[in-house]
Structure 1
């Protein structure tokens, strides 16, 4: 074991994957000697050379187009999009090529070796072009997987699984945790399964669901609620495509209540999909309407970032309202 922050765990996962398989390549803007804007790819070019860790032009559509070609030819590219907000120019390549290549070729070709890494979310005073949470856009697309870690241990294990996954994966990294989240991480090679939720804390009165940095928020809200005698079950989805319906529904059948928290805007956020599916599966077990605590339906604000965030206090108040319904 070694103490790592989330950035170091990601860097360690990349080194581990590249040492184990010479088909693993890293590409993106400034990922070479500079190590990326957050330094997640530090020292990779020094160890593996320019052939396996190289800079690209500042063209996101080109980054993913090139990565698609590499993946289709048997390589395992890990493409970095510098900020999640900048993934939209590459939307066409991801949706119409990455996700559909296997389907349209009848299984003869695929981009299954492709992993797209990108930091997402707010909390760093980055304003509206450096703080968005676009995960729900990609959860709508068959053919890719969407994975979001919450801490260094999850980050390394999930990223290694994503790189070795036979389907393309978008790996969203909560950037406000890059240096804030620190924990014990095995220095050895290990994988965590994709598509499985993690029950962070068991409880009996209400189920709280989140992913990424918001898991810490619902844990804090659960601790506040405990002072009122409310026992919260806390679940980290970890993957939102596919998401672990069975774990969440089993929990809701037990508790009778569900609250979902995410940083993205409320309307058409992924909480809506979770709420719809759980309502369908657990309708007779629900004691109150499903609650969503999310970002606002506005562009991400700079000055009013704290007001925008679905923080622990908003979550706690929603827990109380649900329990008193």
Structure 2
């Protein structure tokens, strides 16, 4: 177990170093360290471009990983993720609405708009599930329906406002291009606030995993814990999407890989999902920047290339769910 944590940490450090060296200007470790310490010739490239992107990639990936683990813990379906229950679509719809209808809106308004969209969909899902007394599996199906509806709304906005389509498409495909220090407080304050709360929920999710009747008999307030965990997941996913757009499948992949490496205990699972999610987004962003500079691919395209086949594999594996 300790070896796996150490290996994951070392791999993240190695990819972080590669990320700082890679781009249109290939730098040496000496040049990077010199720029961080003393500024100089490569101050802008290192301190205003690559370093904030690296830190944001780690935060966005961690947020998506924790969110996915919480969603799967609540819905008790290994195929559940923030993408599938409509949170990413909600954030994407409101953000696209802002980018197309109010193209001159200030930079800080985009994360707030995306947060409003994601949280609104999360609240709607909770209300529908409570009013209709939906079981977890049907809650996931309801989220998929909401997601499909909002996706059609996004398509409509892009067709009606073709002039602003480029800006919206870059954001919708998931990218850290153009992101910097001004976005940092949104994701990291959210993580530092919601991660401890998620860890507090961890043992309760372990008990819920035993079944509703067992959890209630052991004193767990089922509806309250599920709502709290789902809202934490929604807020983390919304924060991540608000920064980097819709980077698909990280919320699905990270919890699965964490479960394979660290088991089903939610405390280890959440930390593992955060670490693996951070690593996945960092790898995707590094490849997106370094594969064919100065052209930059959206990081979300790369995560989809990996995530879509894995999702098909999971569909076949869990066809009885």
Same fold per superposition (TM over 0.5): no
TM-score of the superposed pair, with normalisation by structure 1:
0.23
TM-score (norm 2): 0.23
Which of the two has greater strand per residue?
1
Higher relative contact order (CA 8 A, sep 6+): 2
